[in-house]
């Protein structure tokens, strides 16, 4: 057993909410709200229109969204399962859209054919819906009342992206570069050194179009050429030194199959995706700040050509979420899955949304955590403890209670048969949730033999210990008072049984209950009606406080999973799998796992302990 050892029986479990209550006042305003409010006030996007000749933007124009609406997007690349960092982005985009009466698109940013898979698309859709964000909203001005699914795939815009590339070539703003990758790298320069123009930079538009079409038609080998924007090789911003727009890559795409052997680069594709969907505010993390000039450059050029509407979307950056003891990188998480270091993407220790869900995290807990973590322009690390605090604060008011004995030893009430009758089982009950009397009561039995926690007994009383030791009286919570008479150990000195005497007429809820004052109050389950359970005591997956910088496997917590053979209250039999789970009194929040082996009555995962045991 690790940190799960029960707290002193005499004390109430500390389920008191931490500082910020669930129904805290609305989150303080953040800089994004100011931007959005400003745009709404000025009608920035309500005046959106196409300039120049509309060209082939016509069909996108036909799908014109309501221009007065705030339109956000969450654009994951389907190359892994979503993690806690994504929850922040989902929460931010969908909540802001909702707050301002707008919509948020779920867009699969699937422009990289090699790493993307249908499994990931499905898992992402699942995670967004689980968080409670609806991507189906009534928002089709041409047919009021119809439901338009706001789910999009970047790969559906490949045709448009290709035409946008040709447009740039025709206007002298892009060229096919056939330097070797090494030459390109060397000629890009660095922070202190301007880049050098490629010898291919002076090609005419006609030459470039012909060569680009050869790229498209499979006449060139992978890596033999790229299409680059023609901007400024001496720009102090390296991202503006003729960034790559298209590369040759013979790979089967999950959506477009083998139709293409050239694929757009993320920096080229992403602004176009935003523009075609008429996104108003494109929110990303701070790493993309240096890309913003290219985002604007590209969309300004396409708007001038009438390919997209104007004003075009704008990019805004906020600090990514970093949580101590958590890795938020799909690539690193994939390493753990593929290396077999965890039991799949949804291992309850994984910081994926699928893992957090199996661990017992609820959408409300995650949203509260996102809200408390704030939206700022400067990064930092959020303590893992605040993730658990958000969980406790949301679960305490709603989680049904139950008793569980995680490290069981048998207690025999030696005068039970004489006082109560042989084989008699006394009916006891307890509130399902003390904060919610309407939830009713749960029922269980007390008999001669009960399971108690091994560490609730001591042969000799340690200082400050008020539970079982010879001569001491304690209450079996919700049951009777007993007086301990001793314990039996085996040849190895291991405790195998504890004995006690029932103190008559002391049952909870009866007039005699208060006749005897006891300092200890212990949890238990009767041998007669307990369910056998496997309990998984999960700990942090990473021992390192700020994992991700060193060797990933060395940063793992070797004791992130301890399993115990426990006994739990019979009410667990009917409990639903997953959901908000329940609170085992004295032990913490737990959830029933869906992957129950046949031989077991119950398999439960510990979501979190009752209080932060590390804070001490
Ligand atoms: P990863 O490195 O894990 O793949 P990513 O940013 O490359 O992360 P995407 O699928 O591109 O993954 O992310 C989709 C969205 O989620 C992006 O807008 C990205 O900015 C946002 N996002 C990813 N990680 C975080 C984080 N830790 N905090 C806030 N937002 C994040
Ligand atoms: Mg990415």
Over residues 220-242, the pLDDT tens digits come to 999 999 999 999 999 999 999 99
Q: Which of 212-221, 366-375, 574-583 has the lowest mean pLDDT?
A: 574-583
Lowest model confidence (mean pLDDT) among 36-45, 51-60, 123-132, 169-178 = 51-60
Task: Say how far residue 539 (Cα) sits from the centre of its chain.
Answer: 17
Which of 445, 453, 452 is CA-nearest to residue 423?
445
- Tell me the per-residue pLDDT of 103-136, one tens digit each, with 9 for 90 and over: 999 999 999 998 778 899 999 999 999 999 987 7
| 140 pLDDT more than 80 | no
Q: 319-403+528-616: what fold?
A: 1.10.1160
Active-site position among 201, 320, 334, 596: 320
Closest CA to 97 of 133, 123, 65: 133
Span 400-437, pLDDT tens digits: 999 999 999 999 999 999 999 999 999 999 999 999 99
Highest mean pLDDT among 204-213, 433-442, 512-521, 592-601 belongs to 204-213
127 lines ligand 1 (CB under 6 A): no
CA of 315 to the centre of ligand 1 (A): 15
The predicted structure's pLDDT at residue 514: 86
**Closest by Cα among 544, 461, 462, 475 to 503:** 475
What are 165-186's pLDDT values in tens digits? 999 999 999 999 999 999 999 9
Q: Whose CA is nearest to atom 24 of ligand 1?
A: 85
Instruction: Classify 409-523 by CATH class.
Output: mainly beta
For domain 158-266, give the CATH number.
Answer: 3.90.800.10
Ion ligand 2 — residues with CB under 5 Å? 77
114 included as an active-site residue = no
Closest CA to 559 of 579, 538, 587, 544: 538
Contact between residue 489 and residue 495 where contact means Cβ atoms under 8 Å apart? yes
3-class SS of residue 478: coil
- In angstroms, what is the span from residue 83 Cα to ligand 2's centroid? 12
Is the pLDDT score of 60 beyond 70?
A: no
The answer to whether residue 533 scores a pLDDT higher than 60 is yes
Burial of 54 (0-12, 13-18, 19+ CB in 10 A): middle
DSSP, res 561: E
- 597 falls in which pLDDT band (50, 70, 90)? low
Distance CA 76, CA 537 (A): 32
pLDDT in tens, 147-169: 778 899 999 999 999 999 999 99
Q: 241, 330, 454, 536: which one is catalytic? A: 330
User: Facing residues of 205 across strands?
Assistant: none
Position 5 pLDDT exceeds 60: no
Instruction: Tell me whether the omega of the peptide bond preceding residue 452 falls within 30 degrees of 0, making it cis.
Output: no
Given a cut of 60, whether residue 360 has pLDDT beyond it is yes
Lowest mean pLDDT, pick from 11-15, 413-417, 448-452: 11-15
Nearest ligand to the CA atom of 382: 1
The predicted structure's pLDDT at residue 139? 67
Domain boundaries, the chain: 31-155+270-316, 158-266, 319-403+528-616, 409-523
Asked if residue 21 has pLDDT above 80, the reply is: no
| pLDDT (mean) for 246-268 | 96
Q: Is 317 helix (H, G, I), strand (E, B) or coil?
A: strand
Could you tell me if the CB of 112 is within 6 A of ligand 1? no
pLDDT of residue 174: 98
3-state SS, 570-607, equals HHHHHCCCCCCCEEECCCEEEEECCCCCCCCCEEEEEE
CB of 262 closer than 8 Å to CB of 254: no
CA separation (Å) from 115 to 87, 323, 353, 354, 483?
21, 26, 20, 20, 65
Contact 299, 313 (CB under 8 A): yes
**Dist. CA 173–CA 25, nearest whole Å:** 51
Distance 24 CA to ligand 1 centre (A): 28
Specify whether 410 is catalytic.
Answer: no
> Is 12 labeled as catalytic in the residue annotation?
no
CA of 76 to the centre of ligand 1 (A): 7
Q: Which ligand is nearest to the CA of 331?
A: 1
Listed residue (255, 231, 225, 261) closest to 243, CA to CA: 231
CATH topology of domain 31-155+270-316: Rossmann fold (3.40.50)
**How high does pLDDT run on average in the chain?**
90
Closest listed ligand to the CA of 78: 1
Q: Check residue 384 and give its pLDDT.
A: 94
Distance in angstroms (rounded) separating the CA atoms of residues 420 and 384: 50
Q: Dig out the tokens for 222 from the structure.
A: 């992978």
- Please state, for a pLDDT cut of 70, what percent of the chain lies above it: 90
- The distance from CA 129 to its chain's CA centroid, rounded to whole angstroms, is 12
The angle subtended at Cα 38 by Cα 35 and Cα 43, nearest 5°, is 125
């Amino acid at each position: 057993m690790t940190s799960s050892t029960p707290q002193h029986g005499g004390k109430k479990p500390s389920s008191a909410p931490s500082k910020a209550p669930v129904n805290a006042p609305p989150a303080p305003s953040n800089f994004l709200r100011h931007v959005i409010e400003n745009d709404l006030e000025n009608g920035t996007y309500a005046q959106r229109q196409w300039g120049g000749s509309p060209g082939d933007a016509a069909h996108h124009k036909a799908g014109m969204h309501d221009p007065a609406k705030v339109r956000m997007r969450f654009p994951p690349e389907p190359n892994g399962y979503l993690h806690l960092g994504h929850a922040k982005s989902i929460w931010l985009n969908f909540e802001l859209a909702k707050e301002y009466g707008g919509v948020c698109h779920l867009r699969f940013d699937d422009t990289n054919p090699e790493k993307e898979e249908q499994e990931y698309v499905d898992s992402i859709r699942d995670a967004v819906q689980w968080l409670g964000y609806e991507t189906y909203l009534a928002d089709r001005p041409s047919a009021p009342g119809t439901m338009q699914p706001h789910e999009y795939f970047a790969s559906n815009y490949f045709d448009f992206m290709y035409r946008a590339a040709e447009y740039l070539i025709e206007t002298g703003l892009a060229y096919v570069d056939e330097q070797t990758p090494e030459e390109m790298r060397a000629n890009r320069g660095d922070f202190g050194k301007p880049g050098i123009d490629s010898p291919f930079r002076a090609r005419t538009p006609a030459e470039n179009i012909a060569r680009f079409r050869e790229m498209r038609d499979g006449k060139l080998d992978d890596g033999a050429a790229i299409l680059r924007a023609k901007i400024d090789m001496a720009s102090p911003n390296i991202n503006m030194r003729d960034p790559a727009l298209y590369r040759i890559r013979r790979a089967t795409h999950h959506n477009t199959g083998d139709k293409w052997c050239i694929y757009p680069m993320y920096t080229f594709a992403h602004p176009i995706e935003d523009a075609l969907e008429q996104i108003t505010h494109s929110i990303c993390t701070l790493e993309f700040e240096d890309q913003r000039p290219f985002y604007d450059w590209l969309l300004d050029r396409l708007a001038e050509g009438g390919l997209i509407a104007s004003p075009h979307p704008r990019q805004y950056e906020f600090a990514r979420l970093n949580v101590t003891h958590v890795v938020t990188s799909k690539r690193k998480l994939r390493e753990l899955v593929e290396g077999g270091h965890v039991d799949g993407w949804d291992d309850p220790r994984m910081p994926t949304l699928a893992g957090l869900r199996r661990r017992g995290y609820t959408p409300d807990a995650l949203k509260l955590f996102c809200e408390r973590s704030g939206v700022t322009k400067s990064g930092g690390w959020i303590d893992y403890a605040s993730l658990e605090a958000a969980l406790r604060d949301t679960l305490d008011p709603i989680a049904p209670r139950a008793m569980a004995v995680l490290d069981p030893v048998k207690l025999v009430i030696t005068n039970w048969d004489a006082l109560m009758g042989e084989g008699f089982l006394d009916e006891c009950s307890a509130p399902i949730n003390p904060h919610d009397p309407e939830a009713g009561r749960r029922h269980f039995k007390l008999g001669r033999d009960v399971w108690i926690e091994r560490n609730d007994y001591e042969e000799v009383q340690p200082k400050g210990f008020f539970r079982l030791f010879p001569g001491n009286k304690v209450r079996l919570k919700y049951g009777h008072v007993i007086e301990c008479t001793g314990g039996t150990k085996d040849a190895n000195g291991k405790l195998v049984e504890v004995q006690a005497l029932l103190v008559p007429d002391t049952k909870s809820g009866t007039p005699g209950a208060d006749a005897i004052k006891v300092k200890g109050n212990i949890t238990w389950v009767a041998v007669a009606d307990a369910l056998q359970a496997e309990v998984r005591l999960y700990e942090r997956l990473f021992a390192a406080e700020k994992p991700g910088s060193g060797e990933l496997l060395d940063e793992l917590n070797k004791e992130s999973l301890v399993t115990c053979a426990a006994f739990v209250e019979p009410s667990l039999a009917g409990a639903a799998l997953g959901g908000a789970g329940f609170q085992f009194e004295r032990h913490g929040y737990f959830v029933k796992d869906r992957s129950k082996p046949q031989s077991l009555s119950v398999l439960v995962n510990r979501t979190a302990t009752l209080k932060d045991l590390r804070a001490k």
